[in-house]
């Protein structure tokens, strides 16, 4: 959303003035509660206070976050693999947010794709090394002696720099006297606000407090993921994994894909599939392809969790004086949750400052940003369904591998398959753009050529004479 065009600013102020008469405009002294201090809550607070300052509006923002992102393990955990794509790094920089070196645990130079039919290393299609591996919290359990700094803590600090206050209080209820939200706390105290921004994600119990809200919030569909932190020495992790994220496309039932991300003396394993359970986890960790890359039986897992993953958008994640941003409302399918948090957080903040905080304001100015993500996710589901079908055939697996290997080995070759795989894993491009890439005549021609070559029987290796 741009604020440089005079007509847009004029329209925004017209909406702002119109809402004053309806009582749904923020004004000097308005109080905003942000429930959740992860990226969505921090981005919303950052943009809200920055925009309020630009229009000389004096507001108070309280961020309710019980976790400490300066503590290792569950007390500071935010259930995320922790990879930021180069496109998001550029977007953050354009917003004036530059990631410090202390937050980035490892710069990632390539993705290595592993299948039962072989491996291929894929460098960035745009020859940029702007993938960052980081910790959302302050690192895993037993990481107190490691040199770690929290990405979420960094973002929360930005919001505080603009005037947000952190309130580590436990919220036990929410009431709506006179149509304004009032938060109830564990010590029987309460506080009234002019707007509630819910940024807790789908793993928080606070979401359950909204079940009786008049807006009738309907939760999104979720599944279970799996995250495990393995610890060795930094030299061992570098020797085993290098400066690459290792991605596995295996034929294990209910398994979508998994990634192993190097982070200093830790390696983060992230699995995505259909309601991952212990059986599926063990099937992956003991798979010969995984063992050949990362011997999980010799490197201890020091911290693990099975967070819920948002698979879709809430139906109408807003109401009068309440808006759900980030994972609480809508996020990208399997990818780029931080980018979705930025987009929805900024859209909600823009709406609140320049248009108002009524249900109609959020419908007109916030909901379109959510719908764009939801529509793109629909294309993503189609692509993952197609990928699941293709994974079942050894011939198509060989064709995918051969096409990517040929592109990486040929100087100047257009990286059709390489770009598709890179963007599927990094979230650098919308699913819609990835799908368009598969319709390119060059992609189709080269894939069919690779498919035909894969159908030919392979000559057996010559034995010793």
What is residue 149's predicted lDDT score, i.e. its pLDDT? 73
pLDDT at 1 over 70: no
pLDDT at 360 over 90: yes
Domains of the chain: 6-73+152-221+312-378 (3.50.50.60), 379-455 (no CATH)
Residue partners of 134: CB distance under 8 A and separation at least 6:
82, 83, 84, 99, 103, 104, 105, 151, 263
Q: Which two tokens stand for residue 73?
A: 């393990």
pLDDT at 358 over 90: yes
What is residue 135's predicted lDDT score, i.e. its pLDDT? 66
Say if residues 321 and 179 touch (Cβ distance below 8 Å).
yes
pLDDT class of 23 with cuts at 50, 70, 90: confident
Q: What's the rounded Cα separation, in Å, for the pair 173 and 459?
A: 69
Mean pLDDT value across residues 425-447: 93
pLDDT class of 131 with cuts at 50, 70, 90: low
pLDDT at 16 over 50: no
Beta strands in 168-216 (DSSP E): 171-175, 182-185, 190-192, 195-198
Cα distances (angstroms) measured from residue 101 to each of 95, 105, 151, 241, 463:
18, 8, 11, 21, 52
**DSSP tally for the chain: helices H, then strands E:** 14, 21
On average, the pLDDT of the chain sits at: 85
Residue 187's CB is within 10 A of a number of other CB atoms, namely 9
pLDDT class of 376 with cuts at 50, 70, 90: very high
| Highest mean pLDDT (candidates 41-45, 315-319, 425-429) | 41-45
What is residue 404's predicted lDDT score, i.e. its pLDDT? 96
Q: What's the rounded Cα separation, in Å, for the pair 415 and 421?
A: 10
CA angle 407, 410, 414 (to 5 degrees): 50
pLDDT at 465 over 50: no
Reported as a single tens digit per residue, the pLDDT across 138-158 is 555 454 544 567 888 889 999
Say if residues 429 and 423 touch (Cβ distance below 8 Å).
yes
* Secondary structure (DSSP) of 21-50: HHT-S--TT-EEEEE--SHHHHHHHHHHHH
What is residue 274's predicted lDDT score, i.e. its pLDDT? 79
pLDDT at 313 over 90: no
Residue partners of 337: CB distance under 8 A and separation at least 6:
39, 80, 326, 327, 331
Closest CA to 323 of 208, 194, 136, 161: 194
Mean pLDDT value across residues 26-50: 96
What is residue 68's predicted lDDT score, i.e. its pLDDT? 67
The region that residue 103 occupies, defined by phi over 0 for left and psi between -120 and 50 for alpha, beta otherwise, is alpha
pLDDT at 365 over 90: yes
Residue 443's CB is within 10 A of a number of other CB atoms, namely 18
pLDDT at 12 over 50: no
Least confident of 311-320, 387-396, 413-422, 453-462: 453-462
pLDDT class of 66 with cuts at 50, 70, 90: confident
- Distance, CA of 403 to chain centre: 29
pLDDT at 20 over 50: no
What is residue 7's predicted lDDT score, i.e. its pLDDT? 40
pLDDT class of 351 with cuts at 50, 70, 90: very high
Residue partners of 84: CB distance under 8 A and separation at least 6:
99, 131, 132, 134, 151, 338
Reported as a single tens digit per residue, the pLDDT across 209-251 is 887 776 667 778 888 889 998 999 989 999 999 989 999 999 9
């Amino acid at each position: 959303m741009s604020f440089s065009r005079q007509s847009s600013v004029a329209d925004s102020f017209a909406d702002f003035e119109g809402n004053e008469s309806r009582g749904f405009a923020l004004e000097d002294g308005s109080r905003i509660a942000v429930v959740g201090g992860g990226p969505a809550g921090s981005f919303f607070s950052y943009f809200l206070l920055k925009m309020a300052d630009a229009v000389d509006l004096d507001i108070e923002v309280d961020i309710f976050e019980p976790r400490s992102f300066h503590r290792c393990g569950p007390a500071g955990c935010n259930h995320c693999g922790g990879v930021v794509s180069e496109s998001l790094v550029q977007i953050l920089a354009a917003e004036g947010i530059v990631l410090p070196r202390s937050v980035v645990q490892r710069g990632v130079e390539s993705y290595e794709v592993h299948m039962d039919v072989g491996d291929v290393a894929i460098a960035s299609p745009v020859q940029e090394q702007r993938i960052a591996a980081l910790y959302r919290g302050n690192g895993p359990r037993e990481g107190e002696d490691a040199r770690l700094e929290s990405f979420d803590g960094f973002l929360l600090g930005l919001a505080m720099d603009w005037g947000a206050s952190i309130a580590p209080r436990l919220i036990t209820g929410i009431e709506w006297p006179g149509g304004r939200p009032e938060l109830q706390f564990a010590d029987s105290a309460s506080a009234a606000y002019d707007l509630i921004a819910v940024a807790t994600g789908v793993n928080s119990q606070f979401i359950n407090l909204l079940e009786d809200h008049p807006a009738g919030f309907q939760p999104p569909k979720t599944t279970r993921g799996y995250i495990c932190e393995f610890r060795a020495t930094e030299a061992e992790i570098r020797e085993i994994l290098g400066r690459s994220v290792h991605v596995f496309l295996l034929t294990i039932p209910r398994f979508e894909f998994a990634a192993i991300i190097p982070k200093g003396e830790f390696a983060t394993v992230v699995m995505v599939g259909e309601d991952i359970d212990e059986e599926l986890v063990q099937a992956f960790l003991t798979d010969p392809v995984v063992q050949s890359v990362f011997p999980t039986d010799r490197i201890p897992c020091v911290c693990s969790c099975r967070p819920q993953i948002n698979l879709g958008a809430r139906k109408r994640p807003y109401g009068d004086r309440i808006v759900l941003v980030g994972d609480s409302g809508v996020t990208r399918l399997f990818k780029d949750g931080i980018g979705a948090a930025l987009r929805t957080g900024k859209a909600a903040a823009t709406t609140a400052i320049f248009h108002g905080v009524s249900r109609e304001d959020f419908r007109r100015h916030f909901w379109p940003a959510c719908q764009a993500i939801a529509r793109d996710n629909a294309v993503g589901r189609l692509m993952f369904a197609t990928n699941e079908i293709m994974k079942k055939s050894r011939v198509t697996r060989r064709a995918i591998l051969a096409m990517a290997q040929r592109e990486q080995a040929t100087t100047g070759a257009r990286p059709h398959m390489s770009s598709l795989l890179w963007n599927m894993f990094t979230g650098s491009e919308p699913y819609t753009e990835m799908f368009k890439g598969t319709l390119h005549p060059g992609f189709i021609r080269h894939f069919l050529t690779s498919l035909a070559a894969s159908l030919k029987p392979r000559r057996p290796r010559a034995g010793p004479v």
